[in-house]
Structure 1
Amino acid sequence: MDKFLLQQQVLARLADDLRQTEEAARVAHETATHEENIAENKYDTLGLEAAYLATGQARRAEAIREAIAHWRQFRPRDYDESLGIQVGALVCLVDAHDRQQQLFLGPEGGSMKLGSGAELVQVISSQAPLGQALLGKREGDEVALHVAPARLQFEVLRVQ
């Protein structure tokens, strides 16, 4: 599986998310400032609600821009057994029911599922609970994660 190709897919998805978020912010701003939405009394809050929405969308757009910058600077490296799993690793986990999942450990802001051929790859950051649990692990190691109220357990099957 090509890590560079996965990175390009993440960047394309983030760019699409950014376009949608910026459009939503623009529409909310136009709604907030439209003359028909000027409050006539204290209970008329459509303009105020649209302004809050526009602010939230603008913040979301800024977060996506930061994620894009992190992913553009990101250079996935080959797996180094001596360091264990690090950011940039492509990891195959298996659970107690023999279900496998592919994970690509990347920088912040890229939590998404991508298709790579016939396989699905879950992109997670090292700040995610599972990402933190994976750091430093090697093939054959067990990874346990508490997700209230359950305890999830995996084995690291392969790392690239």
Structure 2
Amino acid sequence: MDKTLLQQQVLDRLTEDLLQVEQAARAAHETATHEENIAENKYDTLGLEAAYLATGQARRAEAIRQAMLSWRRFRPQPYDAGKGVQLGALVCLVDVEDARQQRLLFLGPAGGSMTLLCGEQRVQVISSDAPLCKAVLGKFEGDEVSLQIAALRQHFELLWVQ
């Protein structure tokens, strides 16, 4: 599987997300500043609420821009069996209790958590700050990966790394 293609798909998705967030921010800003939404009393808060929404959308847009910058600078390296799993690795995990359940993960920088389709295969892109990414980093093929989520403990085997 081509990691450069996966990286481009992440950037494409982030670009789409940015366009949507920017459009929502513009609409919220227009609502906040429209003359019909000037507060007439203390209970008339439509303009204020729209301003808060516009601010939140602007922050989200900036976060997406930062994620895009990280992903543009990111250079996935080939797997080095001496170092174990590093950011940029494409890994296949299999559930220890149900070998039919396999997960393909692409480990990347912050801001890229999403699921992509590569041909017929689903690839989950996880960020460096995700608990599953932290659990996989430094592991080797054949190692067990254990993850605690609330009261549930999941166990996987690291089937292969690319």
User: Quick check: TM above 0.5?
Assistant: yes
Partner in structure 1 of residue 70 of structure 2: 70
Once superposed, what is the RMSD of the aligned Cα atoms? 0.4
Partner in structure 2 of residue 27 of structure 1: 27
SS in 2 for 1:93: strand
Asked whether the 8 Å contact 1:67–1:110 carries over to 2, the reply is: yes
User: 2:82 & 2:57 partners in 1: Cα distance?
Assistant: 43
Q: TM-score, normalised by structure 1?
A: 0.99
Which residues of 2 match residues 115-154 of structure 1 at below 5 A? 115-154=117-156
Asked whether the 8 Å contact 1:102–1:120 carries over to 2, the reply is: yes
Asked whether the 8 Å contact 1:126–1:135 carries over to 2, the reply is: no
Asked whether the 8 Å contact 1:29–1:54 carries over to 2, the reply is: yes
User: 2:141 & 2:88 partners in 1: Cα distance?
Assistant: 15
Aligned residues: 160
Query: How far does the alpha carbon of each residue in 1:77-127 deviate from its partner, in whole angstroms, 9 at most, with x for none?
Result: 000011100000000000021100100000110000000011000000121
Deviation at 1:11, TM superposition (A): 0.2
SS in 2 for 1:102: strand
Q: TM-score, normalised by structure 2?
A: 0.98
Q: Give % identity.
A: 71
Query: How far does the alpha carbon of each residue in 1:24-69 deviate from its partner, in whole angstroms, 9 at most, with x for none?
Result: 0000000000000000000000000000000000000000000000
SS in 2 for 1:154: strand
Runs of 4+ displaced beyond 2 Å: none
Unaligned runs of 5+ in 1: none
- 2:131 aligned with 1:107: no
User: 2:129 & 2:135 partners in 1: Cα distance?
Assistant: 10
Unaligned runs of 5+ in 2: none
SS in 2 for 1:115: strand
